[in-house]
Amino acid sequence: MSILIDRTTRAIVMGATGSEGSFWTGHMVQLGTQVIAAVTPGKEGERVGDIPVYHTVHRALNARGPADAAMLFVPPRFTKDAVFECLDAGIKLIVTVADGIPLHDALQIRAAARASGTTIIGGNTSGIISPGKAMLGMFPYWIERVYKPGRIGVMTRSGSLTNEVTAMVVRAGFGVSTLVGVGGDPVPGMRFAEVLAALELDPETDAAVMIGELGGTMEEEAADMIRSKAFTKPLVAFVAGRHAPQGKRMGHAGAIISGGKGSALDKIHALQSAGALTADRASMVGTLLAEALAHFAPPRGITA
């Protein structure tokens, strides 16, 4: 089992006719994703590999049947319109990789998604993958060496760190049930606490790995989930940015310390006090994960 996507997920891709979109759409199909249609205004009748292209989401669904998810390779300034088109068509999972979606657009996207019961992944994300089942996003071609099927849920705000940390999970002898890149923008569509809630309910996820960074409050929210017993499985966290200066943006729009809050050390202390294990270096994640699982006793009535 996995969360959000699996072999049965039927997806459309908006922007699949562009160079990035066509490249990654082909890769998603190779990894088992059911891509039923592509959408690019003005290019109906074309094909991306074996996938037909339509002007609009509604035309695609009318021709190809219902879709569970949409993958958006759409520039930031057009992302809100693309998301709203998917919402109007009733699609319940939307992944957008755009970096730098205008803040007001991001706020409207999250509000509209929550009102309609839709899950948004991103922006500024590599996407989501359930290894051996499906992918919506941009994970590298040497994926088989890093993203192997298993029982560890991974959630991340980073891109490059994701590959490194997940490689440490695999090196320690584990695999991934589902990896969710929540993204590095200030207003993500899905937050860490929401991912943890889904992983808690997944009977084939035994533990979680969090790849966090400075800025925002998502890591502290995850600590609150553990403290309140809303998440009861082992959690190992690696939080980047220990030595970042205050007031300096570090890569992502959401990675900034402001108002004396959001430092990596604050997040680490919050997670440790809640009972999570925290890695000083990415190379420690696999070892800590093995330690956490070796000592984990599931709550009574729960089978790990």
All domains of the chain in start order, with CATH: 1-124 (3.40.50.720), 140-297 (3.40.50.261)
Cα R_g (the chain), whole angstroms: 19
**CA atoms of 106 and 193, how far apart (whole Å):** 18
The residues carrying an active-site annotation are 252
Is residue 29 classed as helix, strand or coil in its secondary structure?
helix
Phi and psi dihedrals of 52, rounded to 5?
A: -75, 150
CA neighbor of 45 nearest in space, from 171, 37, 154, 295: 37
**What is the phi-psi region of residue 107: left when phi exceeds 0, alpha when psi lies from -120 to 50, beta otherwise?**
alpha
Which tokens go with 207? Answer: 């533990």
CA neighbor of 236 nearest in space, from 206, 260, 266: 206
Which amino acid is located at 283 in the chain? S
Residue 94: its H or E element: strand 93-96
Q: List per-residue pLDDT tens for the chain, 304 residues long.
A: 589 999 999 999 999 999 999 999 999 999 999 999 999 999 999 999 999 999 999 999 999 999 999 999 999 999 999 999 999 999 999 999 999 999 999 999 999 999 999 999 999 999 999 999 999 999 986 677 788 999 999 999 988 899 999 999 999 999 999 999 999 888 999 999 999 999 999 999 999 999 999 888 999 999 999 999 999 999 999 998 776 565 555 555 444 444 445 788 899 999 999 999 999 999 999 999 999 999 886 654 444 4
**CA atoms of 248 and 241, how far apart (whole Å):** 11
**Token pair 């999972």: residue:** 93
With contact defined as beta carbons under 8 Å apart, do 91 and 37 qualify?
no
Which tokens go with 21? Answer: 């979109």
